[in-house]
Amino acid sequence: MSFTVRIKEEISTIKSNETESQAELSAYIRNSGTIEKSSILMTTENKFIVDRITSMIHEIYKVDSKVETIENLNFSKKDLFQITIPKDSKMLKDLGVLDEKERVLNTVPNYIVGGNEEIRAYLRGVFLASGSINDPKTSRYHMELLVKEPDESVFVQKLLNLFDLNAKILNRDKGYMIYIKEAEKISDFLKILGANQAVLYYENVRIYRDQKNKTNRLNNCEQANMDKIIQTAASQLEDIEIIEENDGVMLLDEKETEVLEYRKKYPETSLKELAEIISLETGKSITKSGLNHRLRKIKELADSFRKMKEEKKD
């Protein structure tokens, strides 16, 4: 069972009062229904959605629905359930689907989403009709709602952004995709739907992934620091080799010569570690800054030998 199906199954168990059910039905019919001359057709792969929608319609409007199984033409192994309900004008006007002249309304009247709970219910209906959320364990963070009509897509986006979800719209071949990419915002959307078990799962996976990414970044940073230490030490050892090849050690003072010997003795240590070792073994305190100063003197001497070698070539 996919993560999306688990969410839809969970929110299909939410109990609603009449106005909330009307908002959810309105959203579902507007985004899943095809209005024909005498009936409305809606399709879904999920039996629990069928049961929820048909029971809501019967309880509020005493209208019976016909449910049949049809072949899924979208290359899915699962068959589709098709819900057929009579084109009851009173019901469709009441749900904000048709106006008084029985024309399809571009957006629902304000009374359908008049309160916070009704807005949540409307978004539940849209999600049941055309929503999906990637499993955070296997994919990038992504939530989308596919809406057919442009006015409806803008309306749904506005409802989402009432909750500060930063929802955006993209034009697609089959309609308009309203989407959210931010992990925290998707988690907030699940809370709005009332999918509490999905929220717990989502947050656990998200925290795990964030912690894993943080650990990876720290490891990468640590590796980069180690590479830098090794590269710096290799350069210093190269300076020492040039000085020794040119019998130049005698040109260094006692402290610089001491640092030279300790760098050869401990070729892979960082400057901080080397300063601590010298301080411990000689009993003479030296800071990282002091050590770096002496190594610069060694480098300057090595560079002078390099320059002399280049001048001889010329």
pLDDT digits (tens, 9 = 90+) for 56-95: 999 999 988 888 888 776 656 677 888 988 888 788 898 9
Please give the pLDDT value at position 314.
64
User: What are the extents of the domains in the chain?
Assistant: 3-194, 219-313
Task: State the pLDDT at residue 209.
Answer: 78
Q: b/e per residue, 120-129, with b = 16+ CB within 10 A?
A: bbbbbbbbbb
What's the CATH class of domain 3-194? alpha beta
Strand 175-180 relative to strand 168-172, pairing: antiparallel
Confidence (pLDDT) at 122:
96
pLDDT at 311: 78
pLDDT of residue 215 exceeding 90: no
Q: State yes or no: pLDDT of 173 exceeds 70.
A: yes
Mean pLDDT score, 266-286: 88
pLDDT above 70: residue 112: yes
Q: Assess contact for 65 and 58: CB atoms under 8 A.
A: yes
- Check if the beta carbon of residue 151 is closer than 8 Å to that of residue 106: yes
Decide: residue 36, CB within 10 A, 0-12 exposed, 13-18 middle, 19+ buried: exposed
Indicate the pTM of the whole model.
0.68
Name, of 60-74, 117-131, 273-287, the range with top average pLDDT. Answer: 117-131
How confident is the prediction for the chain on average, in pLDDT?
Answer: 88
Q: pLDDT: is 48 or 101 the higher one?
A: 48
CA 119 to CA 97: how far, in whole Å? Answer: 16
Q: Which of 46-60, 115-129, 167-181, 210-224 has the lowest mean pLDDT?
A: 210-224
pLDDT band with cut points at 50, 70 and 90 for residue 17: very high
Residue 36 confidence (pLDDT) = 83
- Alpha-carbon distance of 255 to 274, in angstroms, equals 14
Average pLDDT over residues 145-153: 93
